Amino acid sequence: MARSLSVPERPALQQSIVDLLRQRGSRLLTIKDIAERLEDADATREQVERAVEELEQDGVILAVRGKRYSLLEFTPYHAGSIRVHPDGHGTILGGPDSDDIYIDRRSMKGAMNGDLVVVRVDKQRPSFKKLRDRRYIVGEVTQVLRRAHRTVVGRFHLEPEPYVVPFDVRIDTDILIEEDATYDAREGEMVNVEIDRYPDRSSHLATGRVVEVLGFIGDPGVDIEVVVRKHHIPHNFPQEVLDAADAIPSEVPQDIIAQRVDLRERHIVTIDGETAKDFDDAVEVQLLPNGNYLLGVHIADVAHYVTEGSELDKEAFERGTSVYFPGRAIPMLPERLSNGICSLNPQIERLTFSCEIEIDGRGRFVDRKVYKSVIRTKERMTYTNVNAILVARGLAPSSGAERDRAAEANGAELLERYGYLIPDFERMFALYEILRVRRDQRGSIDFDLPEAEVMLGESGDIEAIRPTERNVAHRLIEEFMLAANEVVARELVFANQPGLYRVHQQPDPQKLADLKDILKEFKLTLRGNLEDIRPGELQRVLKSVAGTPEERFLTNIILRSMKRAFYSEENIGHFALGLEHYCHFTSPIRRYPDLIVHRRLAELIESGPLYGERREQIERAHPLYALQSSERERRAEEAEREVLEWKKVIFMRDKVGEEYTGIVTGVAPFGLFVELDEIFVQGMVPVATIGGDFWIYADREHRMRGESTNRELRLGDHVRIRVESIDEDRHQLEFRLLEVSGQPIKERER
């Protein structure tokens, strides 16, 4: 495995070369020219050659006319990661001031999805192509700089000769396998292939060798194994990383405890899900003599064990985040740390970073303090049990008579077992209500909808798909974590300390205009200037549809109109939360950005704000930390979503022919997308199967209209469908439309 630098910044010599070439503009320089003109006189010719080669591989500079170099920006070439579409063409996203680039299948020259490539475009006489209402400039791949796939997962076939069809439809090439490199794979099994030869200008085929046999699609667990390898998620720790974890003592040394604030006697508890094994955070709430509340959020001090530049740090940077699938987790850190010495397990001494916030009755943060501590949590509580206690005490809201009776019966037992903590939970609930009002007043957007949860049996088979439940205990912990993250971000900003922030930008006005059109169909409006909309306006719309049949659909539409949150070295605020300062501090066991925030806090506490060379080093590293963390988060989300969709398709295997109700979540020229009620499974109704009329697609109106009847099929329509067929390889379900808003629809004759 390639190892990452502990501080992944561009080396000074490379930066000097870039600066020199930028000064020279369009004039070309040889290696000799570069070496002679560099300010760094100590750099050898060999070092300059290596730095130039690395910059060339990164797509920063380009060799023109032999070995004469220029920055790419001064040439008719572009570099970027290519996205290959199922029909074989590729696209490269341009920057803010440049067009996206389209490459047709014949001009791919062996590039595969995700490869870093150099593309030539004719700047003097550019050609353009329009695709799905977007304009692209036409280009041609001239060079593949870096391959995205050293391995490819796919289905193995024996005839006419051994070959593998990639599982990812965006990898548009089969892989030939040598007779002696099949790893004894059987026809139809899913395998992982190491590529020996990539496609190029002369051949569309690749060659490789099978290195893993994963099993047949449909066998329990194979879906996760396939997706993990498709997204190249590291799932085995290198031996040197395991050795580093094994070298850490399993108990906290007394001399370290003596250096910290001792909180071991305080009523501190963890509150997590039933299946959680790693506990990042613990909480407490005290009532102060002045009537204010003291919120204590205590976070595992992972940075004490995962030091900068260590093998553990390099691996954590590479992974970026833990990844969670139904019945399985791929952790960022080895289990000895994530479930062991770093985890805030009950009644065991653990090192923590504590954030204390004094909060008054109006939710204002009167005072704050961040420091290193040692704790011993009193109990390992679950959301279910805390909610049951609050229901039994008459604090948590009603959630239905049957559930309330169960909670009340369980609550009596829990009240006896945790009687000494009841005042603590009551204070937590009181503070939660204060913080909730504060959040509502600032207009924070709350997408509080249940998601699909896959329930697995002991054998790994899917027993059910049901909505996740979020009770008061979930929301209580969420508010406490938001408060701690906000306070820590303020701590960094006000001390002028470099930080890594969780940011969320203002929505794009055009997307809001499209949203406004959709909302009109439901007699809803977006008020005010779309260029400067406030989160409170979107939250107002969400509240107005709460409890309606369209709530889930419209919430997802609003969510899609917004930009993604990401990590940044710049503190530009968090739109959805309505916060000027926000970072991630509370999950360092499973998120790398939190670990970086802990390091900056530790430096601030120990030696004050950074200055000089150390600050410059950190400021160069943080943009790369932010980029890597954002990319790894996206990779994890895509993999988790893909497995969930695959699990849903597997669950529907024996449901062909059954009827369900649902809602239309998408309208396209080729059909309707429908999400089923309760189980949140999505499928498509092909337009060719909808009878009763000839249906015409109206793009801007998000609907289909019958040519003769003028009847409409629209976003948000409530429908009844029949499950017609399943394509497990593509995770697709095909439905037949039976009713729309209670009115029958004829099936088209076959």
Range 727-742 average pLDDT: 90
Residue type, 21: L
Q: Does the pLDDT value for residue 487 go beyond 80?
A: yes
Of 388-397, 488-497, 667-676, the range with the lowest mean pLDDT is 388-397
pLDDT in tens, 332-387: 999 999 999 999 999 999 999 999 999 999 999 999 999 999 999 999 999 999 99
pLDDT at position 553 = 87
Class of domain 12-142 (CATH, top level) = mainly beta
Q: Does the pLDDT value for residue 295 go beyond 50?
A: yes
Q: Does the pLDDT value for residue 701 go beyond 50?
A: yes
pLDDT at position 407 = 57
Q: Looking at domain 652-744, which of 3.20.20.70, 2.40.50.140, 3.30.1490.20, 3.40.50.300 is its CATH number?
A: 2.40.50.140
Beta partners for residue 269, in sequence order: 283, 379
Q: Fill in the DSSP letter of residue 564.
A: P
List every span in the chain annotated with CATH 2.40.50.700.
Answer: 151-216
Percent of the chain with pLDDT over 90: 64
Tell me the C-alpha distance between 685 and 672, whole Å.
5
pLDDT at position 402 = 46
Range 488-496 average pLDDT: 97
Q: Does the pLDDT value for residue 7 go beyond 50?
A: no
Kindly indicate the confidence band of residue 32, based on its pLDDT and cuts at 50, 70 and 90. Answer: confident
Q: Does the pLDDT value for residue 3 go beyond 50?
A: no
Tell me the C-alpha distance between 231 and 635, whole Å.
7
Kindly indicate the confidence band of residue 5, based on its pLDDT and cuts at 50, 70 and 90. Answer: very low
Q: What is the mean pLDDT of the chain?
A: 90
Cβ–Cβ < 8 Å for 263, 374: yes
Kindly indicate the confidence band of residue 43, based on its pLDDT and cuts at 50, 70 and 90. Answer: confident
The pTM assigned to this predicted structure is: 0.90
pLDDT at position 364 = 97
pLDDT at position 702 = 77
Beta carbons within 8 Å of 91's beta carbon, 6+ residues apart: 82, 83, 85, 100, 101, 102, 103, 136
Cβ–Cβ < 8 Å for 103, 92: yes
H runs (alpha helix) in 393-446: 401-417, 422-441
CA nearest neighbour of 228 among 129, 320, 287, 153: 153
Range 519-541 average pLDDT: 93
Percent of the chain with pLDDT over 70: 95
Range 266-289 average pLDDT: 96
Tell me the C-alpha distance between 523 and 505, whole Å.
27
Kindly indicate the confidence band of residue 741, based on its pLDDT and cuts at 50, 70 and 90. Answer: confident
Residue 159: CB atoms within 10 A of its CB come to: 7
Of 60-69, 104-113, 251-260, 616-625, the range with the lowest mean pLDDT is 60-69
Cα 6-8-12 angle, rounded to 5 deg: 115
CA nearest neighbour of 585 among 596, 569, 574: 596
> Where do the DSSP E strands lie in 82-198?
83-84, 90-92, 100-103, 116-120, 128-131, 134-138, 140-146, 151-157, 163-166, 175-177, 190-197
Kindly indicate the confidence band of residue 85, based on its pLDDT and cuts at 50, 70 and 90. Answer: confident
pLDDT at position 124 = 61
Tally the C-alpha atoms within 13 A of residue 568's C-alpha that lie toward its C-beta.
Answer: 14
Tell me the C-alpha distance between 119 and 144, whole Å.
9
pLDDT at position 606 = 92
Cβ–Cβ < 8 Å for 306, 616: no
Cβ–Cβ < 8 Å for 626, 567: yes
Residue type, 222: V
Q: Does the pLDDT value for residue 97 go beyond 70?
A: no
List every span in the chain annotated with CATH 2.40.50.140.
Answer: 12-142, 652-744
Beta carbons within 8 Å of 509's beta carbon, 6+ residues apart: 530, 531
pLDDT at position 380 = 97
Helices 239-246 and 311-319 cross at an angle (nearest 10°) of 120
pLDDT in tens, 103-115: 998 888 889 999 9
211 three-state secondary structure: strand
Class of domain 151-216 (CATH, top level) = mainly beta
Kindly indicate the confidence band of residue 8, based on its pLDDT and cuts at 50, 70 and 90. Answer: very low
pLDDT in tens, 410-463: 778 899 999 999 999 999 999 999 999 999 999 999 887 778 888 888 878 888
